[in-house]
Every structure is written in structure tokens, then in C-alpha cells.
Amino acid sequence: MPIRVSAGIIVLDPQDRVALVRHRKPGVYDFWVAPGGGVEDGEDICAAASREAMEEAGLAVEPARLIAIEQLTGIKSGQHIKHWFFARHPTSPKLKADSPSSDREVITDARWFSRAEMIGHEVYPELLAGPFWDDLAAGFREVRILSPRLMANE
């Protein structure tokens, strides 16, 4: 089974809101996730996280640090090993979900979410439901290894 290296980035604005993009295919799936995707051939993993933030949400950011690694299974193309990075953005720019990759990936929206606003939505990575905020307060002392996630939505 092929393994694909992926990079994602959790970006906080000055109000501690997270940039999320919505993947929505009516009747199939509807979830919010931090920007991310596959590392291209020859691309540095940090550069991939920055590129994905720009492509999926219109954000120009540089990863500050690696905070988690996640294994995604159940994908037709094989397993993905996603490296989640953290970054802060000095402003709260309007997020955009209108790049050419948005149509291909069924990205329909992008917006800033406070921790409280995430409640009631399907949000990934799952660490945004709690552990992320504890790790943020503690200064991200270690890289979290997340439980494998079945991608039944593909």
C-alpha cells in the first residue's frame, strides 16, 4: 500500500481563532479542517504546509513548529502520514476558498473559528477539540502522535 506524506497547518489569528476550510459534498460529507494536503515531489514539508495554506485559504504563513503527526487510512490512493504544523498570523485577513484546487477538493468555504464556534461542527484534526488548546498554553512541549483516522468520506 503506498504511503503519501502530507502537511497541514493550524493557523491562529490574534484573537486565537483557527483558520478552517470546509469540504462539502452534499449527501457524502461536510466537515471543516485546517488547510493541508500532499507534499509534492521534491518539495520541503514546511513549504508544502505554507503552499496548502495559500491554496486552500489564501493565507501567507510560515510554519513555526511541528505539533502533531496523524495517520490517515481508508484512502483509495493509500495511507497518508500528515504532519501538522502551527503558525500565528499577525492579522485576521479575509480567508478565501476560490483557488483552482478548491473545486477539485470540494472546498466550499473558509473562515476563522474560535474554540467555542467549533462545537457542533465536524472539525479536523480532532486535537482541535481540546488537546491543541492545552498544548498551546503549555508551549507545545512535544509532538503529539494522533490516533489513526479512517477517512470514510473519500
Please state the domain count of the chain: 1
What is the per-residue pLDDT for 100?
65
* CA separation for the pair 90, 151 (Å, rounded): 33
Q: Which domain holds residue 140?
A: 3-150
pTM above 0.85, yes or no: yes
The per-residue pLDDT string of the chain (154 residues; one tens digit each, 9 = 90 and over) reads 788 999 999 999 999 999 999 999 999 889 999 999 999 999 999 999 999 999 999 999 999 999 999 999 888 778 889 999 999 999 999 999 876 666 566 899 999 999 999 999 999 999 999 999 999 999 999 999 999 988 865 5
Which CATH number does the domain housing residue 142 bear? 3.90.79.10
Q: What is the DSSP string of 132-145?
A: HHHHHHHT--S-EE
For the chain, helix, strand, coil in percent to 5 are 20, 40, 40
